[in-house]
Structure formats: structure tokens, C-alpha cells
Amino acid sequence: MTGSIYDHLVAIVLVGAMFCAAVAALPNVGYVSLLSVDQQQLRNVALSALNTMLLDSGYPTDWGHDASFNPASVVRFGLASANDSGLYTLDMDKVMHLVEKDEWGEPNALGFLPPATTQQLLGLQNYGFNLKILAPFNVTVKDLAPPSDLTQINYDVTVALNNGKPIPNANVNALTFYSVKATGKDDNYYLGDTKQVGITDAVGKCIITQSLGGQSGTINDVLTIMEVTVGDIHTATSVYRRGGPPNNIAVINVVGDEIILSMPPEGDPNDDRWVLSIDAYTTSGIMHLYTGVQTGPDQDKLNYGSLFEWLKSFPGLKYLDPLVIIVTFRAVLKNGGRQSLIVVGKFPNYLGNRLLSYSTGGSPTSSSSAVTVKRMVTLSGMTYTVEFTLWKLQ
């Protein structure tokens, strides 16, 4: 009898303890469940918005092709190319209108679509977002050649995933352009090119080296475009032997079939810049577009007077879809005299990325209140990673 009573008491105590533990745990379980539901709902909204951006051409379907862009003309937002039926193939002109400022921090000369407008068109008024279009892997180039010797190319190239993990067996195709002033001839310049190929080793490195000597003149400027292939994924970035582009020479923009060259906000020295040649770099190689006129009333040049902008249409350029435009100028380099200088554009294309950040501003209150979704897309024949982060506004 005593043993039975004792067993009942023990059972009552155990049941009570289990009940108290359950009552204490229920709020936490409920919170975790609700948080999981909220995260899934947020992810669904993010995926739906991203698919609209990447699969819809928007309306008008060519809303990014007008050189005099008006944000109010965009009735429906979408970045897909209306001229290519492939999935996740984006229109470069539309993407360029998401770049707010150029490399000098000046407003985009082609016009900018405010994120608030996109937010409204996508029905995301209750959300904040940030959109990036980046190269699928990092290409880092270290110049080992003496800075003063433009006849030598010696690049240490490292290819790695965005998390820093090295990529072995990556194919590195280096296309080098060099501008030359001919010996014994005043203001006579030409543009040469050469190609080197390398394969990264086990730690993701390779060396690209070559001598540009033997030219019949003086090399003024050297630019190398590194096109890197991993499997069937490509990316490209540009490297100057001088250590950086001659940013005080000109701004390069492209919209539709038109190439637009303009003076930078602060140029030094304040001299004329003559257009020597224009070339387009595509996934199929280099294509010469134009040889500038150097004399007479129709000279192709820029200055801070009446020739602040130079514009020319090249029928079919839109369908050529170049990765970058390479322009050679005859101009005065500060502390360097008159020479031929190579300028590559557009920004940030020549750096390997297409959109560094397009954001409504602000940030999520915590990592748990935001989701990030990614997609692979194609732009100008190259593969990029689109990263879209979405968060609920408080």
C-alpha cells in the first residue's frame, strides 16, 4: 500500500515537471516556427521579384535604349533583353541605367533609374533591397614589370572563387593593346595588339609575360584585357601598365548603337584630345570600328570649349553587344607631354563587374530579417552572378 502511494506521488511529480517544461518551451518553439515562416515568405517575395527583374523585358521593352533617358517612361520594370530569347539574358543598356555614378563620382551621364521607382514598379513598397551584378569569380592581377618600362609585360594572375578558394586549371587569355608613336614622324601613331595564354596552377596562379620590344617607335600606353574561363563560365577585367587608366582624358559611354565620348569633370591638362581609333572587344575577339579624322574642319576631338561631347552612331553595335570599348586618343598627359593614350569603358564594365550596388538605402535590422537570393545571368556573352538582398521595412 505504501509503495503504491509512493509510485503515484513520483508519477505526479514527473508529470508536473514535464508540463512545466512544455509550458516553458512552447513560446520558444512558437517563435522559431513563426520566424521560419516569415523567412520563407520573405524568400518567396525575393524570388518572385528577382524573376520579374531577370525574365521580364519591362515596358517599353527597349526602355534603356534612349540616349535621353527619362525614368518616368518606364511603365514596367524588367532587365531581360527583348532581342534574345535565352533565359536570364540581360540587356546591357538597361543595366547601365542602374549605375548611379561614374568613376569620378559624378551622376551617370546616360541617366539613372532611382531605386524608389523600381521599388514601386515591383510592388516592394514595404521592403528594402540591394541588387548587385558581379563577376562569378575574382581575378587579381599583380604587375611585376618595372613601371617605367612599358615594353615589358609580366603579370602574376590569381583566379579564385568569391570566397577566396583558388581555382586551378582556369584558362587565362590576355589580349594586350599598346599605342605607339612612330619614329621620326610627328603625330603619327598606331595601335598594336598581342595575345598571351596561361593556365592557373594548383593554387590558382599563372604568369603572363612578353616583351613588346622591336616596335618602330615609342610605346606610349599599354592595356591588357584578361579574359578568364572556368568550365563554360567567362569573365574579363582590364589592367593598365601605368597602374591605372588616364582618367583625366575622357569618359566613355555606350547606349544602343551610339558611342558617346565626353570630357571628365576635371581634366588636367586642359588641352584638346583627338580621337585616333575606336575598337570593340567582344567574346568573339576585337573589332575595329573607327579611325578618327585628325585634320580639317571635321576633326574628331574633345575639349572644354564647344566640343565637350563627341557622339557617333555605329549601326549594329547594339547587336554586337561589346564587353568594352577601347578608344585611343592623341592627348597631353600631365607631366608627360603629347602622346597616344588608351582609355577603356564603360564603368564599371572594364573592371569585371556590371553593377556594384543598386539599393533603396538603409539596411536590415538583423541578419535574420533579410534574405539573399542569387541567379546566374548572361551579359554581353559573359556569365555574372546576380545577388539580390531583400528585407522587410519596420
- Work out the pLDDT band at 138, boundaries 50, 70, 90: very high
- Digit-coded pLDDT (tens) for 97-136: 999 988 878 899 889 999 999 999 999 999 999 999 999 9
Percent of the chain with pLDDT strictly greater than 90: 52
Closest CA to 178 of 335, 345, 340, 300: 340
Question: Rounded to whole angstroms, how far apart are CA atoms 117 and 133?
Answer: 19
4-8, 30-34, 259-263, 389-393: which range is least confident on average?
30-34
Q: Is the pLDDT of residue 44 over 50?
A: yes
Q: Looking at residue 279, which CATH number applies to its domain? A: 2.60.40
User: Looking at the domain assignment, is residue 308 inside a domain?
Assistant: yes
User: Looking at the domain assignment, is residue 150 inside a domain?
Assistant: no
User: Looking at the domain assignment, is residue 222 inside a domain?
Assistant: no
User: Looking at the domain assignment, is residue 171 inside a domain?
Assistant: no
Greatest Cα-to-Cα distance within the chain, rounded to the nearest angstrom: 122
Mean pLDDT, the chain, as a whole number? 86
User: Looking at the domain assignment, is residue 301 inside a domain?
Assistant: yes
Instruction: Give long-range contacts, CB 8 A cutoff, 24+ apart: 76-79.
Output: 76/121, 77/52, 77/53, 77/117, 77/118, 77/121, 77/122, 78/52, 78/53, 78/54, 79/53, 79/54
The angle at the Cα of 7, spanning 5 to 10, to the nearest 5 degrees, equals 110
User: Looking at the domain assignment, is residue 202 inside a domain?
Assistant: no
Prediction pTM value = 0.82
Instruction: Give long-range contacts, CB 8 A cutoff, 24+ apart: 359-362.
Output: 359/115, 359/128, 359/129, 359/130, 359/131, 360/115, 360/116, 360/119, 360/128, 360/129, 360/130, 361/115, 361/128, 362/128, 362/393
User: Looking at the domain assignment, is residue 163 inside a domain?
Assistant: no
User: Looking at the domain assignment, is residue 164 inside a domain?
Assistant: no
- Domain boundary among the residues 103, 127, 151 is at 127
What would the grid cell of residue 172 be?
587565362
- Domain boundary among the residues 108, 127, 146 is at 127
CB-CB neighbours of 272 under 10 Å? 16
Cis peptide before 348 (omega within 30 of 0): yes
Specify the 3-state DSSP secondary structure of 335.
coil
Q: Is the pLDDT of residue 33 over 80?
A: no
Question: Rounded to whole angstroms, how far apart are CA atoms 389 and 202?
Answer: 33
**Domain containing residue 80:** 1-127
How many domains does the chain divide into?
2
**Structure confidence at residue 23 (pLDDT):** 53
Q: Is the pLDDT of residue 371 over 70?
A: yes
Q: Is the pLDDT of residue 20 over 80?
A: no
**Structure confidence at residue 11 (pLDDT):** 59
> Cell 525575393 appears where?
46
- Domain boundary among the residues 333, 352, 371 is at 352
**Bridge partners for 375 per DSSP:** 386
Q: Do 344 and 252 meet the contact criterion of CB atoms below 8 Å apart?
A: yes
Q: Is the pLDDT of residue 5 over 70?
A: no
